[in-house]
């Protein structure tokens, strides 16, 4: 579906057809509501060092849009959401892409809820890495932080009980991770994501399933989840195809993953922990991410809030495993001025204890007027160890300036 979407030049047609159809249907229902919102964004990325690969550039501009259409009827007990997203990048053919983030029907019963269609779902409690979050594939060309997700087709039934919320998911189609193209930066032109390889002969048609129980008990938030199906995290393997130039291709394993999440709000601190156990045919492993968040409110007799974060990451597969965060420590600080323009600055640092490599980021944003938000991001990567996955992006330090118009 994604590949089809990518090639489709008739995106606008599909979009208007869907909205006409659905609007026509819903107009017959009583007490219906229709709402449109979203944003349009212009972004520039400026790289300060010479590129590692000759195909890469120093300056990238891109334009993106993500409108959100929302209908509700039956007193709000039924609703329909449609969120397409698209980006056009000046150089990177793979970052020029579109996706359906949401296209789903939600029905609310007394103590249950069904959600059918393409959706995004977030699981987890930690900030620097999301180990437990597994339903959606990362849209990793959008940003280096992998926070952007591709829409996942699903049937989701959610049951609300006194002892917590339990969610069942059937996931009938798999989405491949997006990777930067030859000209993309940060990116590795040696990765060819045009052909993906799968452990299952069903490939992307393998039907995955998952279940999660989540509950709040006093000052504690607890979640336990189980996932069975195609790993969202590909292994990058030497292409089995006989290519002239050696290249890496994504390989998607079949896995069973147990996830555990815990957040404890004790006094002024939020303690956060995520643990996974991944069972697969290659190398079973445990991994964890955990730490503390502490906030000060109204610092220096002002309205400003200042937050502090420390987290650690550990992965049993160690420094020769595929995880970037196998033995890392993270520090973060977030300043929110709480002014009229919602000025915020976030600084984060991650340090790899095995490879002694560092990555550093600053994200600053504020609003101009009512609808324009401008963000300035600085990302610096430093690595001297060829075995370290971060070594390949060591020259990708960049400044990113984004202007988003919201409506």
- How many Cβ atoms from other residues are within 10 Å of residue 135's Cβ? 22
3-state secondary structure of 217: strand
- Number of chain residues interacting with other proteins (CB under 8 A): 50
Question: In the set 64, 103, 121, 287, which binds other proteins (CB under 8 A)?
Answer: 121
Question: In the set 19, 114, 146, 338, which binds other proteins (CB under 8 A)?
Answer: 338
Rounded distance between C-alpha atoms, residue 232 and residue 252, angstroms: 7
Rounded distance between C-alpha atoms, residue 348 and residue 101, angstroms: 28
3-state secondary structure of 406: strand
3-state secondary structure of 183: coil
Which among 320, 256, 253, 259 has a CA at the least distance from the CA of 288? Answer: 259
3-state secondary structure of 303: coil
Angle at alpha carbon of residue 123, lines to 163 and 199, rounded to 5°: 115
The CB-of-35 to other proteins minimum distance in angstroms stands at: 7
Rounded distance between C-alpha atoms, residue 384 and residue 251, angstroms: 27
The H-or-E segment that residue 2 falls in is: helix 2-7
Site for other proteins in 126-165 (CB under 8 A): 147, 149, 158, 160, 165
The CB-of-271 to other proteins minimum distance in angstroms stands at: 11
The CB-of-371 to other proteins minimum distance in angstroms stands at: 5
- Residue 402 engages other proteins in binding (rule: CB under 8 A): no
Question: In the set 108, 155, 275, 329, which binds other proteins (CB under 8 A)?
Answer: 108
Site for other proteins in 201-260 (CB under 8 A): 214, 216, 218-219, 221
- Residue 308 engages other proteins in binding (rule: CB under 8 A): no
Site for other proteins in 167-186 (CB under 8 A): none
Which among 285, 227, 47, 255 has a CA at the least distance from the CA of 144? Answer: 47
- Residue 303 engages other proteins in binding (rule: CB under 8 A): yes
Using CB under 8 A, list all residues that contact other proteins.
Answer: 33, 35, 37, 39, 70, 72, 76, 79, 106, 108, 110-111, 113, 120-122, 125, 147, 149, 158, 160, 165, 214, 216, 218-219, 221, 263, 265, 267-268, 270, 295, 297-298, 301, 303, 305, 338-342, 367, 370-371, 373, 404, 406-407
């Amino acid at each position: 579906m994604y590949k089809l979407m990518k090639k489709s030049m008739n995106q606008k047609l599909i979009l208007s057809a869907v909205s006409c159809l659905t609007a026509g249907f819903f107009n017959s229902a009583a007490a219906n509501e229709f709402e449109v919102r979203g944003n349009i964004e212009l972004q520039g990325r400026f790289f300060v060092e010479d590129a590692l690969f000759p195909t890469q550039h120093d300056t990238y501009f891109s334009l993106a849009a993500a409108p959100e259409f929302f209908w509700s009827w039956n007193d709000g007990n039924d609703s329909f959401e449609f969120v397409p997203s698209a980006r056009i990048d000046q150089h990177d053919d793979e970052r020029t892409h579109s996706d359906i983030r949401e296209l789903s029907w939600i029905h609310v019963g007394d103590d249950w809820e069904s959600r059918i269609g393409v959706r995004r779902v977030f699981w987890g409690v930690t900030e620097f890495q999301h180990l437990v979050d597994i339903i959606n594939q990362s849209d990793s060309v959008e940003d280096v932080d992998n926070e952007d997700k591709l829409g996942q087709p699903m049937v989701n039934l959610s049951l609300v009980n006194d002892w917590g919320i339990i969610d069942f998911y059937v996931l009938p189609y798999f989405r491949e991770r997006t990777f930067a193209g030859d000209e993309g930066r940060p990116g590795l032109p040696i990765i060819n994501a045009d052909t993906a390889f799968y452990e299952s002969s069903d490939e992307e048609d393998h039907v995955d399933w998952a279940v999660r129980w989540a509950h709040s008990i006093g000052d504690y938030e607890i979640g336990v989840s189980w996932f069975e199906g195609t790993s969202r995290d590909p292994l990058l393997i030497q292409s089995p195809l006989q290519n002239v130039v050696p290249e890496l291709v994504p390989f998607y394993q079949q896995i069973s993953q147990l996830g555990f999440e815990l957040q404890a709000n004790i006094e002024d601190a939020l303690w956060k922990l995520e643990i996974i156990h991944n069972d697969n045919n290659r190398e079973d492993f445990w991994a964890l991410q955990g730490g503390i968040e502490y906030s000060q409110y109204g610092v220096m007799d002002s309205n400003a809030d200042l937050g502090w974060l420390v987290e650690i990451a550990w992965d049993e597969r160690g420094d020769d495993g595929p995880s970037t965060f196998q033995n890392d420590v993270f520090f973060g600080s977030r300043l929110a001025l709480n002014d009229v323009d919602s000025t915020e600055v976030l600084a984060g640092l991650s340090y790899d204890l095995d490879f002694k490599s560092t990555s550093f980021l600053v994200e600053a944003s504020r609003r101009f007027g009512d609808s324009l938000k401008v963000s300035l991001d600085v990302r610096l990567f430093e690595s001297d160890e060829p075995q370290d996955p971060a070594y390949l992006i060591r020259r990708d330090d960049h400044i990113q300036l984004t202007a988003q118009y919201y409506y």
